[in-house]
Structure 1
Amino acid sequence: MADVDGYHEQLQRDAQFLCSDLRMDTDLVDKLVLQLNRIYPQILTDKEAHKFRNLSVPTKVRLAELLKHLQVKGEEACHEFYRGLHIHAEDIYFSLPTRVKRRELADPKWTNTVAIRRERYVLNDRGPMFFLSCLSFAVGLAMLYYYGEGDTLRGTSPLLHCSAAGLSKGAKDVFISYADVGTKKK
């Protein structure tokens, strides 16, 4: 694909991908239609926008009709569709076949793919409080291990019994048995 290809040709190539992509949901199609209607009423009139926002028609059908309509309207309409897609759904915009092909031609060794693909990796969905509680638990165990043998933490038995209240049965048993062993050493 050369850089001389216009937005009209790109939309012809990307139309099948756009119609089959599950991320092109009703909300996104409505946003694109509204943007084209409000900002560029010469591209999409109120009557046409109402037709493409009709919820009784499936989203994939409405999207396919919208893409055909934009191709009939010409180069400027296709360009504005791409602008709207870039604004409202950047991840879809960068995963379009014409954009991927353009990046491959510009960078055949794939050296800049890290900057382009921004993904969020979630290790767990429990949140920061879970992390803080695990960290506190680990720090507490480390303190007990390093300082529990001497006389510095002799009065920690009641504290250990209290702190074991929110733990699982196995962790409670470890805490309480360690506290009991610490009091027997006195």
Structure 2
Amino acid sequence: MTDRDFYLEQLQRDAQFLCSDLRMDTELVDTLVLQLNRIYPQILSDKEARRFRNLSVPTKVRLADLLKHLYGKGEDTCHEFYRGLHIHAEDVYSSLPSRVRQKEISDPKWTNSVVIHPERFVLNDRGPMFFLSCFSLVAGIAILYYYGDGETLRRTGPFLHCSAARLASKGAKEVLITYAEVGKQRK
């Protein structure tokens, strides 16, 4: 493939993708036809532009006819089509099979295309179950403290001692053991 035939080959490879892509809707096809007609009237005449903008013909059929027409006009015409597609539909242009293949060739290991998203707020590495269990424990103690009567709090002493023994934090152990001992003294 010579440099001269690059866009012709690219259009031939991308034609099926373009015709099947849902992002190539009526509005985008009309925009591309208008650009090729108004900016480059030698590519699409007014009569040809009206034919490719005819709304009575389904968009996929019009797009397929437009691509055949552009392919028949030559390399420069195909280049201008790709330029218009790049301007008006960057997402479609970047997902073309020929563009994806060029990225693979230029970067076979895809080292530049890998995006690393670091976690911004990592509080701990224990996971969500650790958080839920700690939250449940604190919520349970708060409910017992605020809504429990004196008799209920006396029964929670052994539970609080066991809970304190299993916690890793020294401060949490001391608070729970002190709370349990104060409850025993009230008996």
Change (3 A) 1:5 1:101: farther
CA–CA distance in 2 between the matches of 1:15 and 1:27?
18
Change (3 A) 1:96 1:27: same
In the TM superposition, residue 7 of structure 1 has moved relative to its aligned partner by: 0.3
Matched to 1:72, the amino acid is G
In the TM superposition, residue 4 of structure 1 has moved relative to its aligned partner by: 6.9
Matched to 2:46, the amino acid is D
CA–CA distance in 1 between the matches of 2:106 and 2:4?
14
Task: Establish whether residue 22 from structure 1 lines up as the match of residue 22 from structure 2.
Answer: yes
- Specify the alignment match of 1:105 in structure 2: 105
Change (3 A) 1:114 1:33: farther
For structure 1, the residue ranges without an aligned partner over 5 or more in a row are 116-144, 146-186
Query: How many matched pairs?
Result: 119
CA–CA distance in 1 between the matches of 2:55 and 2:90?
24
- Specify the alignment match of 1:67 in structure 2: 67
Matched to 2:96, the amino acid is L
Deviation sequence 1:160-183 (CA, Å, 0-9, x none): xxxxxxxxxxxxxxxxxxxxxxxx
Change (3 A) 1:2 1:99: farther
For structure 2, the residue ranges without an aligned partner over 5 or more in a row are 116-141, 143-187
CA–CA distance in 2 between the matches of 1:4 and 1:48?
25
Matched to 1:30, the amino acid is D
Deviation sequence 1:39-78 (CA, Å, 0-9, x none): 0000000000000000000000000000000001111110
- Specify the alignment match of 1:76 in structure 2: 76
CA–CA distance in 2 between the matches of 1:54 and 1:12?
24
Partner secondary structure for residue 86 of structure 1: helix
CA–CA distance in 1 between the matches of 2:4 and 2:37?
28
CA–CA distance in 2 between the matches of 1:104 and 1:89?
21
Deviation sequence 1:17-60 (CA, Å, 0-9, x none): 00000000000000000000000000000000000000000000
Task: Establish whether residue 33 from structure 1 lines up as the match of residue 11 from structure 2.
Answer: no
CA–CA distance in 1 between the matches of 2:7 and 2:46?
24
Deviation sequence 1:73-113 (CA, Å, 0-9, x none): 11111000000000000011010000000100100111122
Choose 1 or 2 for highest CA Rg: 2
In the TM superposition, residue 6 of structure 1 has moved relative to its aligned partner by: 1.1
Deviation sequence 1:112-146 (CA, Å, 0-9, x none): 2257xxxxxxxxxxxxxxxxxxxxxxxxxxxxx9x
Give the TM-score, by structure 1 length.
0.59
CA–CA distance in 1 between the matches of 2:17 and 2:2?
20
Output the aligned Cα RMSD. 2.2
Change (3 A) 1:30 1:114: farther
Give the TM-score, by structure 2 length.
0.59
